Amino acid sequence: MYLYNSATHKKEEFKTHTPGRVEMYTCGPTVYHFAHIGNLRSYIMEDVLEKYLRAAGYTVNRVMNITDVGHLASDADTGEDKMLKGAKREHKSVMEIAQFYTDAFFEDCRKLNIKRPDVVQPATGCIAEYIEIISKLVSTGCAYLAGGNVYFDTSKLERYYIFNDHDEDDLAVGVREGVEEDTNKRSKNDFVLWFTRSKFEDQALKWDSPWGVGYPGWHIECSGISMKYNGEYLDLHCGGVDNAFPHHTNEIAQSESYLGHAWCPQWFHVHHLNTPEGKMSKSKGEFLTVSLLEKNGYDPIAYRYFCLQSHYRKALVFTWENLDNAAAAYGKLLNRIAALQPGGDADPTVFEEYKTKFLQQMGNDLNTSMGITAVFDALKAKTNDATKLAIIGEFDKVLSLSLLEKAAQLREKAAQAVQSGASDYVITGEGDPEIDALVLQRYEAKKAKNFAEADRIRDVLKAKGIELTDVKGGASWKRL
Ligand SMILES: [Zn+2]
């Protein structure tokens, strides 16, 4: 596979430290509120990446943190604690908030066919690991104490800006968001490894440490959790593009200073979901959640389809109209798959040929829109329906668009409509009203014993490239 690597700014051949095995880490959600669909775009694309790697034959160990402590309103360690903010808003304890929004996050994931990572670790569960890393960083002079907090000393690094395709304005997160400057820092890029109670008197979760009672900074949790479950050599680190700085930059700084060797060579960043007004956020405009999509009548998988239509390294613009278009295209695709007749044997040669091509196309920097095109190509393949269904089922192990399940539901619904007498003639096809009308006219002609007219319509359909199959209680058609 070839994957764009944000650390080198190039598309490169994907490699792993141990052949055949991928140690993969994903930055998880901060569980103080619902995830918006922009956050979920990242998790969808990372899910496709994981499933692609598995389909390509790798064993994958995927680890994700849940941030339930230490993430302040600004990524540059200033402002209010996000978890405290959530707890105050809802008059609940921090742990209640964490549990509620963790469950809500995985419920959204389930609706979007996002697989749960192999390891999911709340940040509050690895305090001993962070203390061990921070202790070593302090003892080796990579970190210092100031004003009760422990800071990482970025001046000790040979190179700090790993993802330096940002401009300086973007980098100055704290300044941009107009939050207070932390005067304890020796230089502006230094970041907090451990807060003591000097920061927030009302901090709910506190632990004893060599530097006083307090709590870990946000960045240290991903290094600690990854090293615990992925080991010292991480192959692939994923996250949204806004995590690249300062979060991922700081993860690299502290991990490599602690380990004394290179930590993670490959970085996968998913770009923003925007609204026409700009970057999507929880506080601006409509708060777009999976529940809102459902409330407005959309199948969450149509949103997944919408995301897959576009490349993960391009900003994607969300409008209800764009989602409508994706939902219509998705519905049409399902109808075409429903028109295939299950049963019979698949042709293994054709199956392998299509699978190989699919892996090649998707393997070009996770080209998901080519993955969807591949499903349409399979529908047009010169082979039997059993083979087409087998190919589509195989592709969907990676795309996870519930293609076979939902097509089967459509067939079932059509059969039930006939049985219940709700309809005495059911047409399954590609959802084209013009063709459906002709198919129905032919049926009416046959019922009226006007066989010449029925044959004529059949010829018209044939001339349009339509293959018509009479099935029990109706007809099924497809384009050749
Ligand atoms: Zn992280």
Instruction: Look up the CATH number of the domain holding residue 373.
Output: 1.20.120.1910
Q: How far is the CA of 90 from the centre of ligand 1 (A)?
A: 26
Near ion ligand 1, which residues have CB within 5 Å? 27, 222
| Per-residue pLDDT at 175 | 42
Q: Is 322 among the domain residues?
A: yes
Same domain, 116 and 22: yes
In whole angstroms, give the CA distance from residue 337 to residue 131: 54
Same domain, 187 and 298: no
Least confident piece of the model among 97-101, 315-319, 363-367, 474-478: 474-478
Same domain, 158 and 300: no
Same domain, 119 and 223: yes
* Angle, vertex CA 461, rays to CA 458 and CA 466, nearest 5: 120
Q: How far is the CA of 56 from the centre of ligand 1 (A)?
A: 26
Q: How far is the CA of 326 from the centre of ligand 1 (A)?
A: 31
Same domain, 376 and 432: no
Sign of CA dihedral 233, 236, 240, 242: positive
- Structurally, the chain folds into a number of domains equal to 3
Q: How far is the CA of 320 from the centre of ligand 1 (A)?
A: 31
Q: Region of 400 please: left (phi>0), alpha (psi -120 to 50) or beta.
A: left
Using the 3D structure, point to which of 270, 298, 323 is the last residue of a domain.
Answer: 270
Using the 3D structure, point to which of 270, 298, 319 is the last residue of a domain.
Answer: 270
Which of 228, 253, 255, 226 is closest to 239 using CA atoms? 226
Q: Taking a C-beta distance cutoff of 8 angstroms, is the pair 245, 25 a contact?
A: no
- Number of neighbours of residue 171 by Cβ within 10 angstroms: 19
Tell me the pLDDT tens digit for each residue of 435-453.
887 888 788 788 878 888 8
Residue type, 419: Q
More confident residue, 418 or 94: 94
Most confident region among 5-19, 148-162, 445-459 by mean pLDDT: 5-19
Can you read off the two tokens belonging to residue 439?
């198919």
Same domain, 301 and 355: yes
Q: How far is the CA of 144 from the centre of ligand 1 (A)?
A: 22
In whole angstroms, give the CA distance from residue 117 to residue 54: 13
In whole angstroms, give the CA distance from residue 324 to residue 331: 10
Can you read off the two tokens belonging to residue 377?
């190509």
Give yes or no for residue 430 having a pLDDT over 90.
Answer: no
Q: How far is the CA of 247 from the centre of ligand 1 (A)?
A: 6
Same domain, 235 and 355: no
Percent of the chain clearing pLDDT 70 (strictly above):
92
Most confident region among 113-117, 166-170, 272-276 by mean pLDDT: 113-117
Same domain, 117 and 10: yes
Same domain, 236 and 163: yes
Mapped onto helix, strand or coil, the DSSP state of residue 252 is helix
| Per-residue pLDDT at 201 | 63
| Per-residue pLDDT at 264 | 98
User: In the predicted model, what is the mean pLDDT of residues 386-403?
Assistant: 98
Using the 3D structure, point to which of 237, 270, 303 is the last residue of a domain.
Answer: 270
Same domain, 154 and 241: yes
Tell me the pLDDT tens digit for each residue of 194-249.
988 655 666 778 899 999 998 999 899 999 999 999 999 999 999 999 999 999 99
Mapped onto helix, strand or coil, the DSSP state of residue 229 is helix
Q: Is 414 among the domain residues?
A: no
Same domain, 226 and 335: no
Give yes or no for residue 25 having a pLDDT over 80.
Answer: yes
In whole angstroms, give the CA distance from residue 411 to residue 417: 10
Q: Is 362 among the domain residues?
A: yes
Phi, psi of 120 (to 5 degrees): -120, 120
Residues spanned by the domain of 86: 2-270
